[in-house]
Structure 1
Amino acid sequence: MKSVLKIAFVLGFSLPLFAVEKAISSEQTPDVQTIVNKANIVAYYQGDDGKATVKMTITSKQGRKREREFNILRKDVTDGGDQKYFVYFQRPADVRRMTYMVLKHADPGKDDDRWLYLPALSLVKRIAAGDKRTSFVGSDFLYEDVSGRSLQEDTHELIETTDQMFVVKNVPKQPDTVEFNYFNVSIDRKTYVPMKMEFYDKDDKLYRVIESKKVEKIQDFYTVVQSVVSNLKTGGKTEMEFSDVKYNIGLDDSIFTERYLQGPPREAMR
């Protein structure tokens, strides 16, 4: 897919899935805008659409574990631009049939549209723009991790180049709207897979890390199939494992509409 969670994710997918079409020569050093543009495509936009099954394991500082399993669908409106996401929760019982949908707008002047359906309450809840950097279903991933952050929301600086990685510093243009001061991304020079994201708080202390732990080649796309986010303030972490990953499956636009929040299409349930 031109990506499946950002949980991903991140997610995104958001959390989180990553892929790449071209490699670069080790002798080349592209400008920072080229680097972040390619990494963004790799992280969120490969293929015209895609799907995956995600197993999420949430671990507290004390070692207590909770699990979530869900399917995630993604369709691109434009390459590197607007996107649509649909998430259907399979288990455990307390979240089964819960759905989450995102209509992502690449224009930073337009907020993404997000909805969450809570079957226990028969309630469709619209998620406010100000809540995009809050916990996604009780995990250490955030809502924004699922579909990704617009490149236009930050300034970008190439601060280090090693044999394997480009390291890019990203500073928010509107710092009052986020909890971080800046974040650094380590990007694989060959594949453009973002391998690590390190978030620093207003005191310039590292407090959050997202890592790509396992990468596989699926349908000629390098894909992150295991990612972990660590919250250094709480001591908790969340792992996501991706399976049954498929790209370019021809998803219909009608899937990504409010009418399917309470009655998900079969593409989301299998």
Structure 2
Amino acid sequence: MKRMFFAVFGLGLLLGTAVGAEAGDPSADEIVKKANHIAYYEGQDGRARVEMTVTDAQGRTRQRVMTILRMNVGDDAEQKYYVYFHRPTDVKGMAYIVWKHLDRDDDRWLYLPALDLVRRIAASDKRSSFAGTNFLYEDISGRSLSLDTHELMGGDDKTYQIKNTPKDGNAVEFSYYVTWINKDNFVPVKAEYYDKEGKLYRRLEALETKDVGGYLTITKMKAEDLNAGSSTVALFSQIEYDIKMGEDIFTERYLRKPPLQWIQE
């Protein structure tokens, strides 16, 4: 649960003037692989309470409060996620499960309590808004490294700058995205997404980090839609690691019957 499950993005380090890759630097693939491990796989399992505040272009706000659970299945391999919504009342009881795979599309299910309906989320929907926020479904469990080619563009004295280009450009709405990764510890620091015309339209970054049980953990992060002028800030609390949850929690049964032991506020 370290870095709180989200795709490779930011700790707010300042972007310096881009320079060429230096002799002795690891390759882009090596950098991205190390960053992916730090962002998603440290700790066998974990949980956190997450409060998201969405602000629209007019300054109006609304909130989402949820618990996120995560379990690794193997080393840097498959994972399972469970998200339970506490507030507001119109989403209370909604639950979301992801089975993350390396060799095929992830399996994703969403439970809508108002309809008592479990809906499978198609692979084509993973780039859509997560519960009406500026985060996407794919942000929650991450994007497979094999879907993109990775190029080391340079960076500054603190960060590597990586350009990530989708192998199948028709499958996503962006043409490429750029990530900044800390040279000292391979922590991802920021991501910026560019549309098909090469215009920057989306930015993700983390605003605050803390040491939680020996893990450097993002406790505040932000997603921005630069075209719409809206943003979402996520605050993380009640963070725990290696709590030894059972794998059966991450099944359809618990979409309708949430695991109260692990999701109580």
Q: Residues 106, 158 of structure 1: CA spacing in aligned structure 2 closer, same or farther, 3 A cutoff?
A: same
Between the aligned residues of both structures, percent identity stands at 48
Name the residue aligned to 2:87: 91
Three-state SS of the structure 2 residue aligned to 1:261 is helix
Name the residue aligned to 2:171: 177
Contact between 1:70 and 1:91, CA under 8 Å: does it hold in 2?
yes
CA displacement at 1:81 relative to structure 2: 1.4
Name the residue aligned to 1:35: 31
Name the residue aligned to 1:250: 244
Instruction: Quote the Cα distance in structure 2 between the aligned partners of 1:61 and 1:248.
Output: 40
Give the TM-score normalised by structure 2: 0.92
Letter in 2 for 1:54: V
Letter in 2 for 1:246: E
Instruction: Quote the Cα distance in structure 1 between the aligned partners of 2:208 and 2:39.
Output: 14
What is the aligned counterpart of 1:235 among 219, 224, 229? 229
Contact between 2:3 and 2:218, CA under 8 Å: does it hold in 1?
no
Contact between 1:88 and 1:268, CA under 8 Å: does it hold in 2?
no
Instruction: Quote the Cα distance in structure 1 between the aligned partners of 2:247 and 2:10.
Output: 21
After the TM superposition, which residues 100-115 of structure 1 pair with which residues of structure 2 at under 5 Å, given as runs?
100-107=96-103, 110-115=104-109
Give the TM-score normalised by structure 1: 0.90
Three-state SS of the structure 2 residue aligned to 1:34 is helix
Q: Is 2:207 the partner of 1:213?
A: yes
Letter in 1 for 2:144: S
Q: Structure 1 stretches of 5 or more lacking a match?
A: 18-25
Name the residue aligned to 1:63: 59
Instruction: Quote the Cα distance in structure 2 between the aligned partners of 1:134 and 1:161.
Output: 30
Q: How many matched pairs? A: 254
What is the aligned counterpart of 2:217 among 219, 223, 230? 223
Q: Is 2:137 the partner of 1:143?
A: yes
Name the residue aligned to 2:188: 194
Name the residue aligned to 1:20: none
Name the residue aligned to 2:256: 262
Contact between 1:83 and 1:105, CA under 8 Å: does it hold in 2?
yes
Deviations 1:6-52 (A, max 9, x none): 3xx25x9xx999xxxxxxxx995222111101100111111111100
Name the residue aligned to 1:126: 120
CA displacement at 1:191 relative to structure 2: 2.3
Contact between 1:139 and 1:238, CA under 8 Å: does it hold in 2?
yes
Name the residue aligned to 2:42: 46
